[in-house]
Structure 1
């Protein structure tokens, strides 16, 4: 079996590691982990030959310009990568990467590799990406091979590496007659000196995201219907309380029933999903299947709309319908017989609940393992519709927040369902829990942007964090409200922002990772603390030159010193290697 050493270089964040992982595992990595230096190995067949392919990944930041060339000795072929979404990464091939390779390994073949080519087919991105012709033209100019790849879709990966291996095989025999710098040795009898082996830097810690509690939150509210404003009258006497914000968001049918009571000032709500509402006359005349009558009453929470359900519908089955509307899944017991399931499917048809009918079919066909994914999709749809219809809408709001002088409208039932801090405020003994028609709450220490993102998460279970300009402030607000899952999401997005900010050079990056570490401690963001400590320790040399490094104290400083990379003993070996090379009069590989 022949050995081929392939080294991958290029700017930070262009997709080098993703390309290697996707090639060796046939899977796209779920999270981006910044590379310092790493090695992979793969046994492959090319042109009928068994090849042991050694894959060497490198860091592209300028901070590693001194250490990176230690990976170059005995390289058979280089892959120089750029991202089709970053013009600078293509320009740097001409100005940085090819000169560096030619300086140390002038005779080693090179393949210029375009990464993330799937973006060429993404709507809205086609005008922004680098054309294939531009990459090919540069390769022709520099007299190198050219390949296009997508780690996400696997497109071009095999062709790229097969081509690189062929180039490397053609270079193997000639390399054996040269020194480790691909140059003729000046002293034939001298023993070849190899650079010290670089120890692995380790992977960045994995960010765990707390599972969604959206369905569980709403199930508890259905069981304890605080702030209810809808009552279903079933079997003549059974009263099941519910909430307009959920019923209208989860069901077009019941949205049409309830929209007959909506104020005319909100045309969007009046014409739910662009469908005319049922008239009150038709509802009370029995012209709408499943409904006997609809009328308004009062409750301790204010106006309450009563919907009387047809007599042929049992309360036991209708409860399953409500569970579906609130959680995306009817809580059907495992011992439910076929008759119960078919009756629930009949109600799904009456109330035009297509996905509930599908769930029933899956249960009858013993394919209920498909239902959780349906439930997740339904909850996403319900949350999105809830935001569209009710978030920051004065109609049916019972609380107004004042943030930076701006009024923001919301509903207590949504806030108390999804946020325990808000629940304590509106259901406890606080002044805000008074049963006034509208409760005003001042929010003094949050920006409007962050508070709107908090509401977005509360209503939909998602937050537009990729658009946020103040992720740390967002994380602080999430922590104040006890939203641990949102804190986790902020930690993840902040870690990605650190990666992006340090793609070119860590030492001169504008982001203060040490300050971020101290903030993470204050907010009890444990995963972000772990990430920052790893990032600082793994890039010790670069951070030790930054002004804020002295702010590392106590246990944090101890951790960073103990886990510093590269370790001191390796750097000492590098210095000894440099001295020996200098004595021989050969140009050292260190720049």
Structure 2
């Protein structure tokens, strides 16, 4: 009986990185990056800083306060009354420069005493009501006062016709995602090719350390309203910003995923790199042998780009992918672009292997030999 041994080449396992979106936004509050709101007491003593885009993403009350929506579009009198009663934007005596934080006066003493806890609640997604109520009671040491402040927060954060307690709140990424490629509250514009793309420094700084350094250090871009972007296409940069704002992205093709991965490496956004790796490998694995044979996609070129940009995990995966589809790629012109070392690796790890093909040939010869013919008694 003919025995054959089959060696299976195991594809490298790519990393998966959990989302840090909520942590990034909370860090923005803790580190005071790109603050554009200063909350103050009635006598203008500062309480703490915040960011309009985050406040407005969870509250029509703050949208009304910062004139993002006109009062006539808010049909609930309670919301308008709450904003007028407890908050007001201080009218500066002189015209402020661009990006100068606005001062918001907090008129209620209990509310401003609890404001740091309230902001932490908002920057955590404005959904952990029980935790907020516990923190308010701990801060005020009086249940009635805590309930009073909690009611103010509910009135500010409720969107018209909704109930913050019973309704299903949007995630923080969904709420802030509404400001993606939106001129509302934008304080910076990127010039990419022939397109101007609005953005918000606070969101960029929260989600990208390179952007945080760029907007807070001694760089040309720190106080620049229009920032040119070179070497990146408009579509790739829009995909990059979409991820920054929404924590999700879906490149339309493998080349676009590779371009986005290169962009994410430039801005040091590691999780986006891993997402792009997953997009590339998933799309390649979903292709049939016939599709791989006929596609114009140059997988060897992808492999060489992965090596050039030091995408080690993707490079190893693509090398194994070429090896395990040896019969397809060895017939392509691009196969000649592999280096000597890469060719050696592919030859050693190729599938079907020489050993397997040799065993298969022997088996077929044995099956079709006269000695193996079936005899009927």
TM-score, length-normalised on structure 1?
A: 0.53
Q: Does 1:403 align with 2:189?
A: no
8 Å contact 1:234–1:313 — kept in the other structure? no
Q: Does 1:294 align with 2:89?
A: yes
In structure 2, C-alpha distance between the alignment counterparts of 1:379 and 1:414, rounded to whole Å: 12
Q: Does 1:432 align with 2:239?
A: no
1:207-233 C-alpha deviation (Å, 9 max, x unpaired): 323222222222222123233222222
The residue number in structure 1 matching 2:177 is 384
In structure 2, C-alpha distance between the alignment counterparts of 1:446 and 1:214, rounded to whole Å: 24
The residue number in structure 1 matching 2:74 is 275
8 Å contact 1:199–1:566 — kept in the other structure? no
4+ residue runs of structure 1 moved beyond 6 angstroms? 277-280, 329-333, 341-345, 354-357
Equivalent residue of 2:189, what SS?
strand
Q: Answer 1 or 2: which has greater strand percent.
A: 1
8 Å contact 1:345–1:356 — kept in the other structure? no
How far off its partner does 1:585 sit? 8.5
Alignment CA distance shift 1:253-1:551 (3 Å): same
Alignment CA distance shift 1:202-1:338 (3 Å): farther
In structure 1, C-alpha distance between the alignment counterparts of 2:76 and 2:324, rounded to whole Å: 62
Which of 307, 310, 324 is residue 524 of structure 1 equivalent to? 310
8 Å contact 2:65–2:83 — kept in the other structure? no
Which of 202, 205, 226 is residue 416 of structure 1 equivalent to? 205
Q: Answer 1 or 2: which has greater helix percent.
A: 2
8 Å contact 2:89–2:102 — kept in the other structure? no
The residue number in structure 2 matching 1:323 is 120
Alignment CA distance shift 1:347-1:525 (3 Å): farther
How far off its partner does 1:573 sit? 0.9
The residue number in structure 2 matching 1:258 is 66
8 Å contact 1:271–1:277 — kept in the other structure? no
1:73-110 C-alpha deviation (Å, 9 max, x unpaired): xxxxxxxxxxxxxxxxxxxxxxxxxxxxxxxxxxxxxx
Which of 152, 174, 194 is residue 350 of structure 1 equivalent to? 152
8 Å contact 1:270–1:277 — kept in the other structure? no
In structure 2, C-alpha distance between the alignment counterparts of 1:555 and 1:278, rounded to whole Å: 73
In structure 2, C-alpha distance between the alignment counterparts of 1:443 and 1:569, rounded to whole Å: 52
Larger RCO: 1 or 2 (CA < 8 Å, sep 6+):
2
Q: Does 1:442 align with 2:237?
A: no
Alpha-carbon RMSD: 3.8
The residue number in structure 2 matching 1:488 is 274
TM-score, length-normalised on structure 2?
A: 0.79
8 Å contact 1:320–1:344 — kept in the other structure? no
Equivalent residue of 2:105, what SS?
strand
The residue number in structure 2 matching 1:10 is none
The residue number in structure 2 matching 1:313 is 111
8 Å contact 1:498–1:511 — kept in the other structure? no
Which of 359, 368, 374 is residue 573 of structure 1 equivalent to? 359
In structure 2, C-alpha distance between the alignment counterparts of 1:338 and 1:245, rounded to whole Å: 24
8 Å contact 1:466–1:493 — kept in the other structure? no
How far off its partner does 1:482 sit? 1.0
In structure 2, C-alpha distance between the alignment counterparts of 1:312 and 1:358, rounded to whole Å: 22
Find the structure with the greater CA-based Rg.
1
8 Å contact 1:212–1:461 — kept in the other structure? yes
8 Å contact 2:117–2:136 — kept in the other structure? no
How far off its partner does 1:475 sit? 1.4
The residue number in structure 2 matching 1:230 is 37
In structure 1, C-alpha distance between the alignment counterparts of 2:85 and 2:253, rounded to whole Å: 44
- Structure 1 alignment gaps of length 5 or more: 1-192, 263-268, 360-373
The residue number in structure 2 matching 1:248 is 56
Alignment CA distance shift 1:349-1:554 (3 Å): farther
The residue number in structure 2 matching 1:221 is 28
